[in-house]
Amino acid sequence: MPDNQLGEFLRARRAGLRPQDVGMPGHGVRRVAGLRREEVAVLADMNADYYTRLEQGRERHPSAQVLDALGRALRLDPDAYAHLHRLAGTAPVAPPTPTTPERISPALRQLLDGYAGAPAFVIDRALDLLAANHLAEALFSPFRPADNLARMAFLDPAGRRFHTRWTHTAPAVAGHLRQAAGLEPGNPRLRGLVRELTAHCAEFARLWNAHAVHGKTSEVKHCLHPDVGPLTLTYQAFDVREAPGRQLVVYQAEPGTPSAQALTLLGTLHATARGS
């Protein structure tokens, strides 16, 4: 069967909207959740048969104007809007993730280690942990192994204990991978990871099929570390321009807070353990 990522995305996002979400009356019995195809077509000011062909994969070359109308109709945020255009081929696909033997450059390694008081690490589009400084290693020490943020969250038993706001973390992680799949659809590592997660975690499979898209920029993280207790951290993610697809992520705690004190203690404990 031909690949129909665009149609699957439209269908999933349509199912996630209720008539009242878009200012339409919700009268009558509905056989399926969400908006009907005809309702999306009305909102996007297009022919219902044309929209049906888009969902079914019989029409694969919508114009940028049609996609803009669908983005508005489906109330897409900027990440999902960009993803829609990539699926339809009206936005450039990202360059492939580097596969060079050197995982990160010496300069980036030096930058990582320079964040002595903040957990800092480098990830790729598949959320593989490519490198981490000592405090990041300490932060992720409950995981065995700490090798991939998605696998750690969904497959490691420590995941739900570590991420105390699981109902927020799980959709965000799945959304990061969905965005990555749109940026680099031919990435074999990413496809293999999604197959693994889908096969072994029903929660991930449900979130993946919802087609939500989430970019990694900045956010608040709530964690519970077995050595130092609860941590409230913010993070910033920066693109590594020399290696497309990789990001430098830096966590920090608000100065003077219990989380800042706990983070300092965690670094001390980890340094002691390394030296013993």
| 216 pLDDT more than 80 | no
pLDDT at 97: 64
pLDDT at 101: 41
Nearest residue to 214 via CA among 176, 169, 165: 176
| Range name among 6-10, 55-59, 87-91, 188-192 with the lowest pLDDT average | 87-91
pLDDT at 149: 97
The predicted model gives 128-140 an average pLDDT of 95
More confident: 208 or 214: 208
| 92 pLDDT more than 90 | no
The tokens describing 215, both together, are: 């970019």
Task: Return d(Cα 22, Cα 106) in angstroms, integer.
Answer: 51
Is residue 269 within 8 A of residue 141, CB to CB? The reply is no
pLDDT at 89: 87
The predicted model gives 101-108 an average pLDDT of 75
Task: Return d(Cα 50, Cα 252) in angstroms, integer.
Answer: 49
Walk me through the domains of the chain, giving residue ranges and CATH numbers.
5-88 (1.10.260.40), 106-275 (3.30.450.180)
Q: Is 140 exposed, middle or buried (0-12, 13-18, 19+ CB in 10 A)?
A: buried
Rounded to the nearest integer, the mean pLDDT of the chain is 90
| pTM, entire model | 0.79
| Range name among 30-34, 133-137, 148-152, 266-270 with the lowest pLDDT average | 30-34
Q: What's the gap between Cα 72 and its chain centre?
A: 22
